[in-house]
Structure 1
Amino acid sequence: MNSYIFETIDHGIKFPAKIFVTSIEQSSYHWHYDYELILVLKGSLSLKLWPDSCVMKEGDIVLVNSKVVHGLSETNENNICLIMQLKQELFEDRKDKNQNYQFYLNSVTDIVKPMVPYETFTRTAAEIGLQYYENSLTNYFRIQALLYTLVADIFQYTQYDIRQYADKNTTVEEADTLLRIIEYVEQNYYEDSITDSLCRYIGMSEKTLYRFLKSHTNLTLKELVISIKLEKTLHMLSKTDKPISVIAQECGFGTDKTFYRIFKNAFGMTPTEYRISGTIVEENKQVQGYIDYSKRDAIRLLKKYI
């Protein structure tokens, strides 16, 4: 299964989160079990929560919920971001571990406002980022405390939806089903009758499949197929000299006009502009386009939000 769809995250052994400051060029559509908190420290960043997108600017904070397909890319200005990938277990109810929470924390769209200013979350996130650069027993406990403070604030001050699972095995079974669906689509995305063949393969009705995908990825089958086709085109545009019309046909877009429209809507540029820009999609990186940033500059930027 290709890494651009499902990302496994190595948190290390110290904390239930992966914390880092980075400059992002491009992170193609992917999903993971972690909740991902993004704070833009400098510049701006295009965040795609398929099929929608928004531009995060300096000071914006967004929580990407568990198992939501998303992608990141740079705009016309450089960016520096604090990324926190929080293990799903941090958000479990000890009395009922069969619940899944979908939080509304997005300072860009600001559709569902939290009960406190967004600075409440940016300040705690920045403090975690600063503490992470120190390696002492005190900082170890400080980070643990701040992580749970952040989670508590998210629960207390943001609105959220709850999904109740039937039993503890349901999440495992559904995760396996989701992986099977994605693998099948990756291998058969070019089929005209993929809905019928996938329903037979997975043993679901079309309506059940629709509800399942929307619940777990916020995508319809059509949108999932398009996202996979787009990833194929990114590789071919950057790694081959094939004419764009040939790439459009081989990736199942039918006409050049359709391909150009869908591509520009997803990435903010035409296939030709993408090829000319020299942007490279590196296949072997689980998270593409994350560039390390110096400790000294990261600390300076983080202190602005304390």
Structure 2
Amino acid sequence: MGRYMDTFNPDGCLVPEDVYFTNWKNYEMDYHMHSYGGFELNYVTSGECEYYVEDQCIHLKKRNLLLINSALPHKLVFTSDEPCLILGMACGALPYKPGYVSLGNLVAAYDPVRDFLQGLDNYVLLKEAHQIFTTMRAVSAELSGEGNPAYMQMECNKILIDVARRVQNEDHRTAEYVMQAKMYMMYHFYEIESIEDIAAYVGVNKIYLQRIFKMYEKETLWNYLMKIRMGKAAAFLTNTDMPIGEIDHMIGMNSRQCFYQNFKNVFHMSPREYRNKHKNVKKRNPKD
């Protein structure tokens, strides 16, 4: 469970407590907090700034949307000489009113919202969120006009649903990128020369691919590739009489020293020692 669930109130109803535009430069806010169980959203329409949630710094650029657990200390910092225009909205979880939809009912009715709230720690950053900005702008217009509470409550719920859906879709897409990278390495281990080759196949930036791969697999792309190569080398050593000096080329490694070092890191013995040990095992167990 994420930290947000510590303050989750199933009877609370999301309503806008404040909606505002800021257009600042060279300015730093003080740390502040809002009501428990609520959220703060900031959408950057132009410029860049930094947002601190506790001691975490998030760099925001145009079209970025940041949703934070508003019970945590947070502040905006504008360090540029160019102004940064932001639409911000603080949503509180106020006591239930007839005709409103509580957070508990929303969670029960829509699994992506449940999963999102249960996983939310400090914040979530969406890189392209113009659609959600449109809804935030509608809430701002309503608040400065008729201010219909039921309408604004409905729009706040829509924002939460849209954010949850985006996060779910991005999680699925991220997992697919990692799977594509693993499959490519499995079948093309012998011809891969760099991380760029893998990223080009998947169709994403190499730095992004490295980051999400390590997040999912708990190891780097290159280590994963090396393990595949060493596994293939072990199979050649055990099942063929191919000279050891040729195996490194067969698995896509052009440095014999690098091959020996990586093999020993994985199997804790040299390729020759591995062949002698496992060839003897096969001779003793011909049915295997």
Q: Under a length normalisation based on structure 1, what TM-score does the superposition of the two structures give?
A: 0.37
Structure with the bigger percentage of helix: 2
TM-score (norm 2): 0.39
